[in-house]
Structure 1
Amino acid sequence: MALVGIIGAGIGGIATAVQLARYGIESVIFEKDRIGGLIRNAYSVENTMFFPDGIKGEKVVEILEEYVRKYDLKILYEKVRAVRKTGQFFEVQTDKGTYRFKYLVVATGTRPRRLPFEGIIYHVAEVPRRHYGRVLIIGGGDVAFDYALTMSETSDEVIILMRSEPKALPHLQELVKKRSNIRTLMGQVREIQPTNGKGKLLAKTSAGDFEVEMVLGAIGRVPNIELVEGIEDDNLFLVGDVKNGIYRQTALAIADGIKTAMVIWRRERYGDTE
């Protein structure tokens, strides 16, 4: 039995596992899909302080994969269905079995707030790689502007539709302004419906009606915390976006993971409770 269970193979979960491995502590990571989490969506990651010109999210995932190989991290590609605390151990139940750990790290990140319309995509990493005519992005925060930059590379026109003034980082706003095929509009979506036999969508908004090939939703995110709601235990750790609210930053997720591993090591080595 491994000492530590980690739910989520995003950058926070991987950082935790790597630091634990450096201490000689075995962990098991549970991942329902692919490693990397939301970082895969990022147009440019600049806040780690190691890539001043930025680095594509997909490249970050490749680096994470290198860390997995280097430290021979154990990843089980199983969806976690439930978590229980039984005696001194956490029980993690998946479709394939039940696993027990002394420590549990939850690095499950966030999920998108959804709009009441069909046909919207919420992760740009899920967009098929091809040329697009017009793309509509709903939202005015970092994610919306980041998605717009990504889609502008393969689209004739990208529209960012915002209900209010943009909340994205000024740096992202400046990058968007430099793209001639991105425009921002103020307004709200009223209806999204398929067009007759064209394979497109008609977005009816307060700023006008737009025939588009795709609609991306980016109106905010909420923590994926359901698995451990109601469980309070000193050996339960939340890492990264799942606990950081609006402060969702790559550097913070890495720091959370490393600090968590250090705390676990000190508890095992010295019995520290701080």
Structure 2
Amino acid sequence: MDNLYDLIIIGSGPAGLSAGLYGARAKLKTLIIEKSKTGGQIVTTHDVANYPGSVEEASGPKIIARMVEQCKSFGAEMVKDAIVDVDLNDDIKVIKGEKSEYKGKTLIIATGATPRKLGVSGEKELTGKGVSYCATCDGDFFTDLEVFAVGGGNSAIEEGMFLTKFARKVTIVHRSEKLKCARSIEEKAKENENIEFMFNTTIKELQGDGILEKIVFENTVTGEITEYEADEDDGTMGVFVFVGLDPQTQIFKGKIDMDANGYIKTDENMKTNVDGVFAAGDCRIKMLRQVVTATSDGAIATISAEKYIENSLTHLEEATI
């Protein structure tokens, strides 16, 4: 019985940590497994202004550190391991990692989704310092500045329009000559006086000394290279990348229901199609991927898991594994 957990959570972003907090506080034997760095995408955000109740100068790393502290204070265990396979067919879920094997009565998948990167020089170094992947999270920080939104799909254009609430000008940068968004969205964007377009263009390099100061563009037709520097009075500008998300759900393919893009299907209680398996946060199908919705998902998933144990697994009370 010692090696059997009531609740195993894969992922330690806001959804996973919220689930862990609720699980440990409910006296469930709880394990959180993270393959690398704790915190998910929010740890790359230096200022968090839209998480309800967050204190002034709240940062992603500080919020995550507090969540980890809360989980541990209630007794949740945390381990570093890369999960390579799962067996979800029986009452006891078997989670196989590179370092060890873990067994649990219930599983919450909180593996998140990763924004696709441009893959250009300077992008990593300037993420959170002029480069962003979330307009809702960071748009306010670019009030009265100039912003470039990269992408041509519905999300890119809609997010670009949202950014006009803050930026004095938004330029949509798209690699081809035609947008991929719905016609109605395109027409609305082109009617917006604060939006301009750069077609047949990609970003080749991002430059700056601790903050984004210069963008190097390449014309996809002519190959011409141009450099664009931030306005001298501004000192910086923004690049928002909207070229898609990749849910981190590869190891669950064929074992749990997903959509065509790899997002996990759940009901409003975070239940998947497999008994005892739940999903929370950015890895599941949902309208809004934000810290506040991730933490909500995590709490709901744990309450659902707790009820599942109480109602469906009473025969495992003293099971010997």
- Is the TM-score greater than 0.5? yes
**Secondary structure in 2 aligned to 1:174?**
coil
TM-score normalized by structure 1? 0.72
Aligned to 2:26: 23
Change (3 A) 1:99 1:144: same
Amino acid at match of 2:307: R
1:74-153 mapped onto 2 (5 Å cutoff): 74-85=77-88, 87-115=90-118, 118-119=120-121, 121=123, 127=126, 137=131, 143=134, 146=137
Is this contact kept in 2: 1:109–1:224, CA < 8 A?
yes
What is the CA distance between 1:55 and its match in structure 2? Answer: 3.8
**Whole-angstrom distance in 1 between the partners of 2:54 and 2:163:** 16
What is the CA distance between 1:185 and its match in structure 2? Answer: 1.7
Is this contact kept in 2: 1:105–1:236, CA < 8 A?
yes
What is the CA distance between 1:205 and its match in structure 2? Answer: 4.5
Is this contact kept in 2: 1:188–1:205, CA < 8 A?
no
Aligned to 2:271: none
**Whole-angstrom distance in 2 between the partners of 1:21 and 1:147:** 32
What is the CA distance between 1:218 and its match in structure 2? Answer: 4.0
Aligned to 1:251: 292
**Secondary structure in 2 aligned to 1:102?**
strand
Q: From 133, 140, 158, give the equivalent of 1:167.
A: 158
**Whole-angstrom distance in 2 between the partners of 1:112 and 1:32:** 18
Aligned to 2:217: 203
- For structure 2, the residue ranges without an aligned partner over 5 or more in a row are 176-200, 207-213, 231-237, 257-273, 314-321
Change (3 A) 1:88 1:222: same
Q: From 253, 261, 264, give the equivalent of 1:229.
A: 253
Q: Name the count of aligned residue pairs.
A: 247
1:46 aligns with 2:46: no
Percent of paired sites with the same residue? 18
Is this contact kept in 2: 1:7–1:108, CA < 8 A?
yes
Change (3 A) 1:168 1:193: closer
Change (3 A) 1:86 1:234: closer
Aligned to 1:32: 35
What is the CA distance between 1:25 and its match in structure 2? Answer: 0.3
**Whole-angstrom distance in 1 between the partners of 2:75 and 2:227:** 49
Change (3 A) 1:170 1:55: farther
**Whole-angstrom distance in 2 between the partners of 1:31 and 1:191:** 34
- For structure 1, the residue ranges without an aligned partner over 5 or more in a row are 178-182
Aligned to 2:12: 9
What is the CA distance between 1:188 and its match in structure 2? Answer: 2.4
What is the CA distance between 1:84 and its match in structure 2? Answer: 2.1
Is this contact kept in 1: 2:112–2:282, CA < 8 A?
yes
Amino acid at match of 1:95: E
Amino acid at match of 2:227: F
**Whole-angstrom distance in 2 between the partners of 1:185 and 1:205:** 15
Amino acid at match of 1:46: N
Larger Rg: 2
1:63 aligns with 2:66: yes
Which structure features the higher share of strand residues? 1
> Could you list the per-position Cα deviations for residues 173-231 of structure 1 after superposition, in whole angstroms to 9, with x for gaps in the alignment?
43444xxxxx5323325455579xxxx97431479722679987442313222121222
What is the CA distance between 1:159 and its match in structure 2? Answer: 4.5
> Could you list the per-position Cα deviations for residues 130-161 of structure 1 after superposition, in whole angstroms to 9, with x for gaps in the alignment?
xx8xx6x58xxx615756766x79xxx87424
Change (3 A) 1:104 1:217: same
**Whole-angstrom distance in 1 between the partners of 2:106 and 2:140:** 40
Aligned to 2:178: none
**Whole-angstrom distance in 2 between the partners of 1:173 and 1:193:** 24
Cα-Cα RMSD = 3.9
TM-score normalized by structure 2? 0.63
**Secondary structure in 1 aligned to 2:38?**
coil
